[in-house]
Structure formats: structure tokens, C-alpha cells
Structure 1
């Protein structure tokens, strides 16, 4: 793979991305690649070159130097691509992510990353064998608000020991979505709503407990499925050995909601837009600490505090920037892939697998595998 090493006093040579498929989410991420320091879109692939060309034009990708490929294989064989972003249907992830790794391409993979942990393990093993960086595209992880909330959660005086977590992610899908979107097709994204927005709820819960896996999960009864048997509304409760519990709901049938609430012995943290902030450059959360009733029980004392975190770059840009930094460290400085991101992805997938197993067993308890 040809690269140009940057001189010590020069900025790092940009990471050259290839976009493997023209899914709707790829529009947002391609914009992020244009805005992210250290990143550049080098190539776009679709099942036809015309579709790749249309995607590039519609999303303002600069024509100079951009290579358009009429197959995914052609992009993976492109020697001037350092990393691939893979927004393909989940059923295609193993095939194309492992093929990318085998060709020495770093892998930024859309969520849900796989249909099951065994499939994800095949992807991670391929990345490990090739020495390439893996990261999933859970964008809110990279927002500075998330780091600020981590500081608050870790403050035992403010929050204490976490006891209860609740999360909800829903949006009201229209009839065309419910009939035709890939997320309701068993041969493309068989995990349905659980893989699409349930992934965010599970990740948020795990993030809140610093990725300590629960011991057991029990899915909520009577999940909603479409005629093809794909989940369109479901949820579960997670149980830890020390008594912590977490419950989440995800749905394609309810109003747009992105809540995460953490309740500790000393305080409560609440976010109402955790996955996609209401605004690109400003995001907030509230903390109620050492809460009590005001005299005569006519109010709260003290009142919750509101925390506002601003950012010049949207969270998807920060994700691309961080991924590019890790790739540059490997490509230009002989560094090793960062193991944190694959580990977090795998824990999310393992819990998702347990929830799916509980649903399939009629809401029986399922032990979470390590």
C-alpha cells in the first residue's frame, strides 16, 4: 500500500477512506470525512459505477482524485485506500469486513456490527491477524458530552453507586419504512429494531457501568414482529450480580425518543437526546444530586443542575477524526491497533445476543456469555 510519510514538521498525511456501499447513513459519514482533520474520501464503491458516481455528486465529494468503483472487490483492491467504511446490511458484514482486513484495510463498521458474536469474532480475528484498526460507528461515544458525563458518573459524591438504569430509543417509522427498509428484511438485517436502535440502548447501559457485563438478561414479554418475523419493538431487563438492574425499550412504532437515565445512591443523571443531540454543536444533560423534598413537599431541594457541552465538530466528525488518528499511528508510526474499541463492540454484541436468545425463548432468563 503506497503512502507518503509526513515530514516531522508537516501535518500527518490524511487517511484515505473508501466508502463500501451507498447506504443512506453513508451520506452523513461521507460529510464527516470531508470535515474531519486527517481524513479524505479517496474512493466510493457500489454495485455499479453509475450509482457510485451519483452518490459522490449528491454528497459533494470532490471529483479530483476520487475513484469510483463498480464493485466492492475493486475498491478493496485499490492500493490508494487506507481504510474502509462499511455501511452495508448486517448480513454482508462478515464477508466484506473480513475481506477488507485481509487486504490490509482498516475497518470502520456500521452497527449492528454482526448478526451474532460468532460472526463478529470472525471479523475481529481478521482485523487482528492483519494488524488493522477496528471500530464500530456508534457516533455518540465520541461526543465531548459523553466524556463529561463519564466524569460525573465516576464522581462517587455526585452519583454514588449506580443502582438502576433505564434507556429508550424509538422513532415512528412510516409505512414505506415498515414495508421496504432493509432494517425490516430478514435476509438483510434480521435483528430488526434490536440491532438498529436497541444497539444504542445496550451500549449506553454498558457505558454507564464501565462495560461490566450483566449476569442475566430477560426480554420483555410480547415483542412486536412484522409478518416476516423481524422485530419492530422489543426490550429487556439486565441483571448484575451486585443487584444493579437496567431496562431498555426500542421501537419503530413510537415517537422519536433517545433517553438514558442513571440512578445512583447519591444522584441521577438524565439525557434526553443521547444518540443524536438536538443540535450539532451543543448538547446537555441534567444531574440531580443529593435530592430531597423542599419543606412541605412542594418541590425539590436542591434543584437539578443543567450541564451544556459545546463542540465545534459534530460527533460523527469526531469519530472519523479519532479513527483516523489511530490509523495514522499504525500506518505512519508503526503503532499497534487500539484494543479498546473492539472490546467494547464485542461486549455490546454479547449482550444483544443474550437479549435475542431470551426473546426467542419466550422471555426466559439467559445467562450472558463472556
Structure 2
């Protein structure tokens, strides 16, 4: 299958576009065909600042990007309250959809988006970049090795960062009319996805939010956490997310025979090397003065950043659909939906007094 040029349209000038567009510009099979903003002046200034090619069309609306016949796919990094409208419209216009997280405010909205993509035969993928780093596949190999890791028993995931006063007052992620899920939809999305990933996307039976979440004055979550339980095999998981703590991006996975830990799963500390630590068959040393063996560091190199690998995979899937050699890959839709189901359960637990909430697919 020959991969043809994928012509992207971008809806909006969010900060994350600076990161993603850098990889678009360096990818030989991708071109930025158009970008739209709420004003033409902003689109012009943003394209110039990010050094978009002169051929990029600049529009003063999102709809103009979707109407452009030279756009094959759209990247949508808009506030989550706008995802339902613009993702559905993009699908109806036969544009393949790369949608930033959280992909919707709830599963009901996401189901409408996915139905529109299916009806139009376009590819859907959420823009969770760490899923595409080669380290992620390597860690999964470790977790799948029953001889060394055994059976998974517990996962703990954390994603926090300390936000400054400007962020806490002005960022879209703390505005109830733009991103009503707040830190749960942003940092919590990653922490919950990590748990599902470690569990091969097996949904828990119940989700329970921790008590005493922190909100801003507008009622948007700034920090919280919760637990997940799988009754049939006794597995448990905990997660924590916050806009109010120092940067932490940990996944800790415990098995009957081994452990795995990664300290930077969301954004690798080093763009070209992703590390994690693993150990199996640990025992106390004499007089319990230490542990043997100690966890060993595994380094996984990559020539391109994880967002470029995400774009490469998205482009590969779109190329298959466009050539008629493949149908849209549904794996990413399923994973997105399961992530959002758990987020819905967290919100339901909070709203109902922190009781366990059953998760039903």
C-alpha cells in the first residue's frame, strides 16, 4: 500500500498545535493544508509564528476548513465543549478525525461522534500521544511475560502539574462552559487511560472517587482521584490527577512475580529516549539490608517524537481507507469510549456522595 500525501486541516490555534504542527511539518507524508481560527488575523499570526508553509490556506472560521476540498483530515484541539459539534460536522464532510482529549464531555456525546464517523466511513483517533511511543509497546511486552511478571494485581497512575495563577484563572481547562471536566478530563484522562492500558482495556466492575476533591470558584475540578475494582480476579487500581501539584507522570504496575514503573509516561523527559524500570523475583538480602535484584532501567530510543509517531499511524490508517484497501480501524474508538466510561463513572461517584459506581460498556 502506497501512502499518499495526507492533507491536514487544523481547527483552532491552541498551544498544543505548536507541538503537533512541528511534527506535521517534519513528516514527509503530511502537509498542513489549512488552519482556521475565530478570526482571520489570529490564523495569519499563528501560521506565521509556527512557520507554516505559504501554501497553507488561512481561514477566519472553523467551517471554512471543513469546506475546503483540499483537506483530507482534521486535527481538532478545541475545548471539549465544542467537540461534539465540530467532530460530527467534520465526519459529515468526509474528513478523517484526529480529536484531542478529552474527546467529549461524556460517553453519550462520544457515541454521536463515533456514529457520524462510522456513517461517513472516516477514521477516528484520539490524540493521546504516549500510546504511540515505542516504549509503550516495550512495557506491554514486559507486562505480558507471565514467567517474569506473573499476574497483574494492582496499578497506580498519577498525572499532576503545578499551574500558575494565570492558568488557574484563564485557561480553557478551568472554564465550565469550555472544558467542564477540568483536571479530570485533562490529567485524569491520561491516568485512567494508563490503568486501562495496563489491564488490556478490561473495564473495572466499579469506580469510586476519593472524597474531598478540590474545585475552583466556577465549580471545575482541580484535583481528585479514585479507585477501580475488578471483582472476579481481585485486581485494583488507584489514580490521582491535579493542577495543583508538582509535575508527576508515574505508572506503577504490580504483578505476582514482578513490578514495572515509569516516571514520565505522558511526555518523556528526553524526547529521543523513553525509560522505565522493571524487576522480577525480588527478595530481601541478608538481614533485610536491601533487595536483590534491584529494578533495572530499560531505555527505548526513538528517532522521532511520540506525536510524530501518532501522526504516522493515523496517516497509515487514513491511507488504507482512502485507497479502498482497508476499512477504518475501530480500535481507537473502543479505547476512547472505555476511557470516557470510567471518567463518567468518576463524575457519577462524586455527584452521588463518593459511592462505588458500576461500569457498564
Give TM-score, length-normalised by structure 2: 0.98
In 2: Cα distance, 1:36 partner to 1:200 partner = 25
Q: Which residue among 54, 59, 81 is the counterpart of 2:45?
A: 54
User: Are 1:258 and 2:231 an aligned pair?
Assistant: no
Aligned to 1:194: 184
Q: Which of 207, 217, 220 is the aligned partner of 1:227?
A: 217
Q: Does 1:125 align with 2:118?
A: no
- 2:29 alignment counterpart: 38
Deviation for aligned residue 1:237: 0.3
CA distance in 2, matches of 1:290, 1:328: 45
Contact 2:204–2:229 (Cα < 8 Å) also in 1: yes
Task: State yes or no: 1:27 paired with 2:18.
Answer: yes
CA distance in 2 between partners of 1:84 and 1:352 (Å):
25
Contact 2:275-2:297 within 8 A present in 1 as well: yes
**Is 1:335 aligned with 2:326?**
yes
CA contact (8 A) 1:37 1:321 kept: no
Which residue number in structure 2 is paired with residue 301 of structure 1? 292
Displacement, 1:332?
2.1
For residues 230-258 of structure 1, the C-alpha deviation after alignment (integer angstroms, 9 at most, x for no partner) is: 00000000000211000000001100000
Unaligned 5+ runs, structure 2: none
1:272 aligns with 2:263: yes
Residue equivalent to 1:326: 317
Residue segments in structure 1 that go unaligned for 5+ positions in a row: 1-7
Say if 2:173 is the partner of 1:183: yes
Give the whole-Å Cα distance in 1 for the aligned partners of 2:210 and 2:283: 32
Q: What is residue 291 of structure 1 aligned with on the other side? A: 282
Q: Residues 47-196 of structure 1: matches in 2 within 5 Å?
A: 47-63=38-54, 65-196=55-186
Which residue number corresponds to residue 4 of structure 1? none
Cα distance, 1:359 vs structure 2: 1.1
Structure 2 residue 336 is matched with structure 1 residue 345: yes
Is the counterpart of residue 215 in structure 1 residue 205 in structure 2?
yes
Does the CA-based 8 Å contact 1:49-1:69 persist in structure 2?
yes
SS at 2:208's partner residue?
A: strand
- For residue 249 of structure 1, give the secondary structure of its aligned residue in structure 2: strand
Name whichever of 21-30 and 126-135 sits farther off.
21-30
Match of 1:316 in 2: 307
Matches of 1:175 and 1:188 in 2, distance apart?
18
**Is the contact between residue 203 and residue 348 of structure 1 (CA under 8 Å) also seen in structure 2?**
yes
Deviates more, 1:74-83 or 1:355-364: 355-364
Q: Which secondary structure state, in structure 1, belongs to the residue aligned with residue 284 of structure 2?
A: coil
Contact kept in structure 2, 1:168 and 1:259, CA below 8 Å: yes
1:12 Cα deviation after fit: 2.8
The residue that corresponds to 1:3 in the other structure is: none
Distance 1:35 1:159 in 2: 38
For the 8 Å contact 1:36–1:318, the answer to whether it is kept is no
Q: Which stretch shifts more, 38-47 or 109-118?
A: 38-47
- Tell me the CA shift for residue 21 of structure 1: 0.6
Which residue number corresponds to residue 5 of structure 1? none
SS at match of 2:161: strand
Please state how far the C-alpha of 1:49 moved relative to its aligned partner: 1.3
**Structure 1 position 50, deviation (Å):** 1.3
Query: Normalising to structure 1: TM-score of the pair?
Result: 0.96
Q: Which one of 229, 232, 237 corresponds to residue 227 of structure 2?
A: 237
Offset of 1:80 from its aligned partner? 0.5
CA shift, 1:157, in A, is 1.3
Q: Residues of 1 paired with 2:164 and 2:44: CA distance?
A: 29
- String of CA shifts for 1:209-229, please: whole Å, max 9, x gaps: 000000001100100001111
Superimposed CA distance per residue, residues 241-297 of structure 1 (whole angstroms, 9 cap, x where no aligned partner): 211000000001100000000000000000000010001000100002111111111
Counterpart CA distance in 2 for 1:12 and 1:201 is: 33
Q: CA RMSD in A?
A: 0.9
Structure 1 stretches of 4+ with a deviation exceeding 3 A read none
